[in-house]
Structure formats: structure tokens, C-alpha cells
């Protein structure tokens, strides 16, 4: 079952969708849905201040959820083998994370730290940040996103090890429900040598702190 889920996750731009992409509503249907939500909230969608709101919301959704059109495997497909014998950790620190939880569609904001141990080939550093961005710009949980990033890097780069840490604050917790502010959620994934070598894992964690 896990293999099937991973295959769907990395299969391409439509990965992670439970709905057949052919059934994606039209822009006009999306605009109408926003107008319905405005009316349900108790306001008048036809008043001057809200006339252009549906268009702005739909455009914003296009940006916030652009990750459905991204392909992590493609981003990681171009690698470089001339690494002059480099065989140590490659790490990106403090990648901005802007995502939305699948439970309330509320934003969660934070940072990601990503590292891998190359096995003869490396990938452009911007591609790692792009992989984080692709998965972040989808509806999901932070736990799932952390696993997806690790899966993509491990599978596509045949890395000896992968480490991912995400630290984010969820607005579904700070602006509704319990309304606790300044509470961060930390999720991690360690694969390969980062899981088996506790010294290497500790080194990664130390670097995330400083």
C-alpha cells in the first residue's frame, strides 16, 4: 500500500489528487463558489467592496496551490556527477514554507531544513528548494509533506541518506479552536545513513539550530 501511495505522490503534476483532474471545475464555477461562501458568511457578494473578491480569491488559489502542477521528479532529474570526490552532507537551511492544511484550508508558515548524502551525483541547490515549494503548495498535513520531500529526494537522487526537518506555525490552531499563539509544530524524517548513524543525525540537528 505504501508503495502505491509513493508512486502516486511522485507520478507527476496530478499526483496527490483524489479527484480525476478531468473533473476540475471551470474558473466560472470557482468564482461562483466564492460568491456562495461570501453569502454564507453573511455578506452581500454584490456590494462594491466584494465585487472583485471572487476573482482575487481564485487567482490567489492559483498561486497558493500551484504545487499540483509541479513535478518533483522532473525538478530533480538534472544532476551533476563531477563533484571532485565530494562525499559529505549537502544541506539547505531555512527554506521558507508557506502551505495550507487539508483540514481547515488554513495557512501554516515556517521553515524547512533539508540535507542528503550524495552517492556520486548532486543536484542544483535551487532544485531542493523547489521540491519543498511544490509539496508545500498543496493541501495536506505537515507530517505528509515532510515524508513526501524525503521520498522524492531519496528516490530520485538515490541518496545514501536524507534528512528533513520542518518547523511551522499553524493558523488553524492560532486563529480558531484553542487559539494558542506562537506554538510551532516540528516534524522530521531521517532516511538511510541519517537514520542509522546517530552522530550524523545529531550533526544535522545541530546545524538546524545554528
Per the annotation, the verdict on 172 as an active-site residue is: yes
Per the annotation, the verdict on 143 as an active-site residue is: no
Per the annotation, the verdict on 102 as an active-site residue is: yes
The torsion angles phi and psi of 127, rounded to 5 degrees, stand at -70, -35
Annotated catalytic residue, options 100, 101, 148, 156: 101
Annotated catalytic residue, options 75, 140, 142, 154: 142
Per the annotation, the verdict on 170 as an active-site residue is: yes
Annotated catalytic residue, options 7, 28, 102, 143: 102
Annotated catalytic residue, options 104, 169, 171, 201: 104
Per the annotation, the verdict on 142 as an active-site residue is: yes
Give the residue numbers annotated as catalytic, written as ranges: 101-104, 142, 170, 172
Amino acid at each position: 500500500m505504501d508503495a502505491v501511495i509513493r508512486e502516486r505522490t511522485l507520478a507527476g503534476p496530478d499526483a496527490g489528487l483524489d479527484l480525476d483532474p478531468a473533473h476540475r471545475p471551470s474558473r466560472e464555477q470557482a468564482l461562483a463558489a466564492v460568491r456562495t461562501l461570501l453569502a454564507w458568511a453573511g455578506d452581500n457578494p454584490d456590494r462594491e467592496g466584494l465585487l472583485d473578491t471572487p476573482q482575487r480569491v481564485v487567482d490567489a488559489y492559483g498561486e497558493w496551490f500551484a504545487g499540483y502542477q509541479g513535478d518533483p521528479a522532473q525538478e530533480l532529474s538534472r544532476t551533476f556527477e563531477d563533484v571532485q570526490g565530494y562525499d559529505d552532507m549537502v544541506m539547505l537551511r531555512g527554506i521558507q514554507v508557506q502551505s495550507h492544511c487539508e483540514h481547515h484550508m488554513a495557512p501554516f508558515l515556517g521553515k524547512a531544513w533539508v540535507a542528503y548524502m550524495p552517492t556520486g551525483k548532486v543536484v542544483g541547490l535551487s532544485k531542493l528548494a523547489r521540491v519543498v515549494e511544490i509539496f508545500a503548495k498543496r493541501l495536506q498535513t505537515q507530517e505528509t509533506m515532510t515524508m513526501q520531500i524525503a521520498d522524492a529526494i531519496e528516490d530520485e537522487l538515490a541518496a545514501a541518506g536524507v534528512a528533513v526537518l520542518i518547523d511551522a506555525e499553524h493558523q488553524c490552531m492560532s486563529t480558531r479552536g484553542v487559539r494558542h499563539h506562537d506554538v510551532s509544530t516540528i516534524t522530521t524524517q531521517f532516511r538511510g545513513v541519517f537514520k542509522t548513524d546517530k552522530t550524523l543525525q545529531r550533526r544535522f540537528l545541530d546545524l538546524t539550530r545554528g
